[in-house]
A and B are shown apart, each in its own frame.
Chain A
């Protein structure tokens, strides 16, 4: 299948500029970057996409087996880079996508020349001597809770996603909503995300890396940001005065400034 169509790839900005790939995390799609894109379009060739199973990626391309590990999502990244023949692109990944970027870098080092990790966490579950912020029980509860949340969610969303010829007004509504996700595919992404452990992969990152963390982030607390910074050799850590897990939405100016400063330093 055509990767550009499969991953709903969008390319905007300066066609002559260096490539910047913006990769969304669990829960949403490329719409997450709507406040980031304007800051990049003048100087960069900006590539946006949806992971298979999210947003408007081709649902038929989903395979539970492939997307039950981060490497499945990383293959999406590599295949998008190959389809556009990107080399040394800067990869900006939010949340779990930061770790997907690390895996993709290992798979195709020639494609990715720099990493920007927005609110990254290499492991969500506390481990011997490591604090990810969640106990194993918390994650179990999250997955159970996703089930019930998606129940309410799917009550509103599923009829639209599943295509409901009896209720065309729902399809219409879908066109105007963001982050519509098939609940079954989202559950797979949630498991893959919250049960992943990418701590060892961080050590081998050999490209310039910017780590962005928020002052108050339930999902990626500051000690996790410090761990990522400490583990990725030569990385830069910037703490944004922002609350929540999505600084590119809640504090777009500060986030954009940090990203553009870092990208400018690469040139």
Chain B
């Protein structure tokens, strides 16, 4: 119990008396005293910056005497060089335009040579006709806050550094992926006498290794082999299968170029490698051989398909038809899988087109609910029948580009054709 007095018998009233005492103490705290000893700096300056009034708190922070400041110094004289420039380029113009400004971070110089971070707010006082008379400025001690902000800045810089590092890592990874991807495809196709070839590879995403593959290579000086296929799945696991597939087919073909034999060897290798791994992997593929006949200019094609979409033959007469290979099984799923064979002969102006289902399954239509499909592809091929392989591939590349977002799978194209003009016939009149 406190402050009970004899004049006030009712104990309930003693609280009011205590408040009165406190209020009296506050009232003795004159406006001058409040100004001088406020927990922030106060400063008033003429419009040219000359300091007209300053409180004791701010003088204490500056370690300056009132006489040295009032009428002698400008507000900018209290600032560091950087602060001065900031004041002139930001603070003063904004204050002039807005009439007030708040929360600006500046450093004030202390006479001992130190500097003190502060937050400054200011407002212009206007005369009765609207002319600016003076500037009132409030200065808050921001030492703790600035330290905290600098810590935040350090963290931000560290985060920025980490982000840059992550970007660099990502770029390196993409480069590595691109190199790996290159290793899965031939750099260039070998020249074949009397035959033209062209290929195109579209990767659905630069971040992912593709699962499509193709190749053309010589067999025995006369004949050449070619293949094109599609490994199930994407990414590194699919790429590993692609690599195994490519080199297995090349090796198998050198041993026995019969298309069924080559695919059967691949089937055995894939099945043995993956069937028991808990992660079965398989592919679809067309493998074939080319037998150019230098006397006729014709090229005999023998091929076999394991579950792959049928190849298209574009004829010099402007027709195009699928070369059906029904019933061939996926390569690598079951031991002893059967593959379907087909043969054809390419004469001058004919082109054989191999492709993966990224092309025929591209989504089309306004809402991309349709698939491009076999018939549309055949129709497209008819329009380009009779043209050389690179023109056909170029046209198809344009078609793929036109699918835009609708093309969401990897796509490989390989075209093999006999030039329409054919090799120049031997002229018996020419010696040699």
Residues of A near any B CB (own CB < 8 A): 25-28, 31-32, 34, 95, 134, 138, 141-149, 151-153, 155-156, 177-179, 194, 216-219, 243-246, 249-250
Contact = CB atoms under 8 A, between A and B. Distances in A.
A28 B82 contact: no
Contacts of A146: 82, 85-86
B92 A244 contact: yes
Contacts of A142: 81-82, 85-86
B76 interface: yes
B149 A245 contact: no
10 contacts: A27-B89, A32-B97, A138-B81, A138-B82, A142-B85, A142-B86, A145-B80, A148-B105, A243-B48, A250-B47
Contact of B107 (A31, A145, A249, A250): A145
B326 interface: no
A249 B76 CA distance: 17
Given A25-B89, A246-B92, A153 B105 contact: yes
A31 B153 contact: no
Given A27-B93, A178-B94, A145 B85 contact: yes
B88 A179 contact: no
Contact of A179 (B49, B90, B104): B90
Contacts of B83: 145, 149
Contacts of B107: 145, 148
Interface string B64-77: 00000000001010
Given A142-B82, A148-B150, A151-B153, 7 more contacts: A32-B97, A146-B82, A152-B104, A179-B90, A216-B49, A243-B74, A246-B88
Nearest to B145: A152
B125 to A, nearest CB: 15
A197 to B, nearest CB: 17
Give the interface SS of chain B, mostly helix, strand, loop or mixed: helix
Interface residues of B, number: 33
B19 interface: no
A134 B103 contact: no
Contact of A26 (B74, B89, B146): B89
A243 B150 CA distance: 33
Contact of B89 (A28, A152, A178): A28
Contact of B88 (A143, A153, A245): A245
A147 B153 CA distance: 10
B190 to A, nearest CB: 45
B89 A151 contact: no
B89 A156 contact: no
B118 to A, nearest CB: 10
Contacts of B90: 27-28, 149, 153, 179
Interface of B: 47-49, 74, 76, 80-86, 88-90, 92-94, 96-98, 103-107, 117, 119, 142, 146, 149-150, 153
Contacts of A141: 80-82
A178 B98 contact: yes
A147 B119 CA distance: 15
Contacts of B74: 243
A155 B142 CA distance: 13
B82 A179 contact: no
Contacts of A145: 80-83, 85-86, 107
Contacts of A156: 103
A178 B78 CA distance: 26
A31 B153 CA distance: 30
Nearest to A150: B105
Contacts of B80: 141, 145
Given A141-B82, A179-B90, A243-B48, A151 B150 contact: yes
B149 A155 contact: yes
Contacts of B103: 152, 155-156
A146 B94 CA distance: 16
Given A134-B81, A146-B86, A152 B93 contact: no
A145 B106 CA distance: 8
Contacts of B89: 25-28, 95, 219, 245
Given A152-B105, A153-B105, A178 B88 contact: no
A145 B107 CA distance: 9
Given A27-B90, A244-B88, A245-B89, A151 B105 contact: yes
Contacts of B142: 152
A204 to B, nearest CB: 28
Contacts of A249: 92-93, 96-97
A245 B92 contact: yes
Contact of A250 (B85, B96, B150): B96
A246 B226 CA distance: 77
B98 to A, nearest CB: 7
A243 B107 CA distance: 21
A106 B51 CA distance: 44
Nearest to A24: B93
B56 to A, nearest CB: 25
A148 B49 contact: no
Nearest to B48: A243
A152 B88 contact: no
A49 to B, nearest CB: 17
A250 B47 CA distance: 8
Given A152-B149, A153-B104, A179 B84 contact: no
A142 B76 CA distance: 14
Contact of B93 (A151, A177, A179, A218): A179
A222 to B, nearest CB: 15
A143 B107 CA distance: 14
B105 A149 contact: yes
Given A145-B82, A153-B104, A245-B88, A32 B93 contact: yes
A149 B153 CA distance: 12
A151 B149 contact: yes
Nearest to A32: B93
Contact of B94 (A152, A179, A244): A179
A250 B82 CA distance: 21
Quick one: which of A152, A155, A217, A219 has the most chain B CB within 10 A?
A152
B93 to A, nearest CB: 5
A156 B142 CA distance: 15
Contacts of B117: 148
Contacts of B85: 142, 145-146, 194, 218-219
B149 A149 contact: no
Contacts of A246: 88, 92-93, 96
